[in-house]
Amino acid sequence: MRLYFRKKQKSLKKKYKSLKKKYKSFKKKYKLSYLDIISILCASLVPLLVTGPFLPDAILSILSLWFLFYSYKKKIYYIYKNVYFCFFISFCLICILSSLLSSNVFFSLKSSLFFFRIGIFALLISYLIDKNKRILNYFYYAFLITIPALIIDGYVQYLTGVNLFGQKINGIRVSSFFGNELILGSYLARLFPLFFALFVIRKNKKMSEVIGIAILFILIDVLIFLAGERTAFVLLNLSTIFIIVFIKKYKWFRLGIFIISLLIVTLITLNEPEIKYRYIEAPAKSMGFDGSKKHIFTPAHDSLIKTALNMFLDKPILGHGPKLFRFECKNDKYSTGIKPCDTHPHNFYIQLLAETGLFGFSFLAGLFLYFSYLMLRYIYEYLTKKKNMVDRLSNLSSFRFINHNLANYYKWQYFY
């Protein structure tokens, strides 16, 4: 009997030591450092953008302030010796100067004075990717939480007329949790390349995960179409073409998904006259393809753009000040057409010309030309020397993330 208990005791000790070892290994693997917590907060912007401007802007501002303090404490000043950051800060100074010389200094300064926080946040993301690779997983999981929620809610709204919170569909346009803000398509289309990139770089993907992501991508493609945002749908197609042409490993994966999505979209278009009118007939009619008067896009867009250009011609150097299009467009000196006034002229480049003049516009134009040159060079190297396009485009991906995802989701706070 004693021998039995001794053996049992030894067995239990071995099991205890094994469990203790596994626990220590688990604790070491999943222990959250302060950089993990900061990384999770950064990734939380993905779902928080759905809630409106307050929470994401509060988180972004706090994180930017924290990074300023952290970089000073750790003396990592090298992070600021970045040509893109210096370029961005110069742009911020031009905007502040434009605000100070504007007709409504206080209102314009509210948006331009602290706009530098966007650049600080971009440096924080760059630093975290370098020091804490798990941030990529946190962003990936943030997408896996947010996008399925939008998909479920969006399709419920499309099929029933109301979403899970009782918000009604806006005509034929699905908006999901965004409500009256018809930006569901923009949100999905502009974040899709980042989501796809995070999926591509993940290691040890199981077949079940690949199949699940494939289904998710199909649902995303179709939902962007149902959102009724023509620009977002065009952006989705452009990013898809780019993926198919230049990313060898997943070109057939994305091509197959895209073909299935197009078939579904075609069926919807043939069976939904209102959607067909919005995507095909209305643009053709507005641009004069039916023999009527031609416009830049629509009569309303034509009016807004011409009004903004009149503002630019009046103050071509520094413009009228950030966020002031909404006020200056009411001036008879500039307004023209059937709809000369709105919070913005629905064209980011034209708005920059009107509100920050040639000085402000030159920064964006310069970046665009520089990265276009890089793009053409990388494409040439890919076609002639067969270099890895994914590695060569890492800088362009970073630029796209900052320029589209940050600018497009914070520019309306800055300019709109």
pLDDT range class, residue 357, cuts 50, 70, 90: very high
As a whole number, mean pLDDT of residues 77-85 equals 87
The winner for highest mean pLDDT among 35-39, 279-283, 407-411 is: 35-39
**pTM for the whole structure:** 0.81
Per the CB < 8 A criterion, the answer to whether 236 and 224 are in contact is yes
pLDDT band at residue 146 using 50, 70 and 90 as cut-offs: very high
Asked if the model's pLDDT at residue 16 lies above 70, the reply is no
pLDDT band at 407 (very low <50, low <70, confident <90, very high): very low
265 pLDDT exceeds 70? yes
Q: Is the dihedral of CA 183, 188, 190, 191 positive or negative?
A: positive
Per-residue pLDDT at 48 exceeds 70: yes
In whole angstroms, give the CA distance from residue 175 to residue 153: 9
Dihedral in degrees, nearest 10, Cα atoms 103, 107, 111, 114: 100
Residues 6 or more apart whose Cβ sits within 8 Å of residue 67: 120, 121, 123, 124, 127
pLDDT at position 400, please?
45
Q: How high is the pLDDT of residue 385?
A: 66
The pLDDT of residue 410? 40
Q: How would residue 54 be classed by pLDDT, with cut points 50, 70 and 90? A: confident
Residue found under tokens 């998710």: 216
pLDDT of residue 26: 47
Are 353 and 395 in contact by the 8 Å Cβ rule? The answer is no
Of 58-62, 167-171, 344-348, 379-383, minimum mean pLDDT range: 379-383
CA distances from 374 to 87, 181, 235, 399, 404 (A): 17, 35, 20, 11, 17
Q: Which residue has the tokens 């208990």?
A: 5
For 279-336, write each residue's pLDDT tens digit: 887 777 776 666 666 666 677 778 888 999 999 999 999 999 998 998 988 888 888 8
pLDDT of residue 405: 42
Section 326-353 average pLDDT:
86
Give the residue-averaged pLDDT of 122-128: 90
pLDDT tens digits for range 214-264 = 999 999 999 999 998 888 888 888 888 888 877 777 888 888 999 999 999
* Per-residue pLDDT, 225: 92
Give yes or no for residue 397 having a pLDDT over 80: no
Q: Per residue, what are the HEC states of the chain?
A: CHHHHHHHHHHHHHHHHHHHHHHHHHHHHHCCCHHHHHHHHHHCHHHHHHHCCHHHHHHHHHHHHHHHHHHHHCCCHHHHCCHHHHHHHHHHHHHHHHHHCCCCHHHHHHHHCCCCHHHHHHHHHHHHHHHCCHHHHHHHHHHHHHHHHHHHHHHHHHHHCECCCCCECECCECCHHHCCCCCHHHHHHHHHHHHHHHHHHCCCCCHHHHHHHHHHHHHHHHHHHHCCCHHHHHHHHHHHHHHHHHCCCCHHHHHHHHHHHHHHHHHHHHHCHHHHHHHHHHHHHHCCCCCCCCCCCCHHHHHHHHHHHHHHHHCCCCCCCCCCHHHHCCCCCCCCCCCCCCCCCCCHHHHHHHHHHHHHHHHHHHHHHHHHHHHHHHHHHHHHHCCCHHHHCHHHHHHHHHHHHHHHHHHHHHCC
pLDDT of residue 262: 93
Q: Alpha-carbon distance 322 to 330, whole Å? A: 16
pLDDT tens sequence across 162-180 = 989 888 988 888 999 988 8
